[in-house]
A = this chain, B = another copy of it.
Amino acid sequence: MLTSKGAATRQRIIEGAARLMRERGPAGVGLDDVRAATSTSKSQLFHYFPDGKADLLLAVARHEADQVLADQQPELDRLATWADWEAWRQRVVARYAAQERACPLSALTAQLGTGDPATVAVVTDLYDRWHAQLRAGVQALLDAGEAAPDIDVDRAATALLTAVAGGATLLMATGRIDYMESALSEALDGLRSPVSPAG
């Protein structure tokens, strides 16, 4: 266990490394760059990241995975009404439109090796948490009678998740955000109760 001061130092190193890796790409950042940018000594760095760069890359990947969800707040945490969902949709599309092709998490997982078990665990955990929040939001719509009553809540959450993930993949490949916009609108419209108002 780290002391709270130790945890704060570790977090400061991770955030500094994340900033550098967003600017230059993970392959372009060495431990000396991280030391210089975060004013830490070599022994401090190895105290917190004993395996060196691989450890640090994984910690930054975890940080960037958290950031994917943080960038969807506060909307993601409080999805309940259609207005909440619409606000979330707009935030997600704006976030990815601003990011364009440069997905920091993809760059990190590519550097770590997408098949590496620790990397898979980081990304699987991200998708699990993301899916759970979308699922809770769909359930809230259903409980309020605002969604079609025959909805499969799990599957609906998966459709929303893949609309964002697929939209992001197409954005990175083509530079076009409209795939994500259309796919998210379509997935959300699919949830609407046939008798509920369209607004």
Contacts and interface: CB of A to CB of B under 8 A. Distances in A.
Interface string A149-182: 0001011101101111111111011111011101
Given A124-B173, A158-B182, A110 B110 contact: yes
Interface residues of A, number: 41
Interface stretch (A16-24, A43-51, A85-93, A183-191): A183-191
Given A163-B163, A166-B169, A186 B190 contact: yes
A160 B152 CA distance: 18
Task: Provide the main secondary structure of the chain A interface.
Answer: helix
A198 to B, nearest CB: 10
Contacts of A190: 186-187, 189-190
A114 B166 contact: no
Given A110-B110, A155-B186, A182-B154, A162 B166 contact: yes
Given A124-B174, A159-B163, 18 more contacts: A110-B110, A120-B173, A123-B174, A127-B174, A127-B179, A158-B182, A158-B183, A159-B187, A161-B183, A162-B163, A162-B183, A165-B165, A165-B170, A166-B169, A168-B169, A186-B190, A187-B187, A194-B194
26 contacts: A114-B173, A120-B174, A123-B173, A123-B174, A124-B173, A124-B176, A127-B179, A154-B182, A155-B182, A155-B183, A155-B185, A158-B179, A158-B183, A159-B183, A161-B166, A162-B163, A162-B170, A162-B179, A162-B183, A163-B163, A163-B183, A166-B167, A166-B168, A187-B190, A189-B190, A194-B194
| 4 nearest A-B pairs in the assembled complex, by CB-CB distance | A166-B166, A162-B166, A159-B186, A165-B166
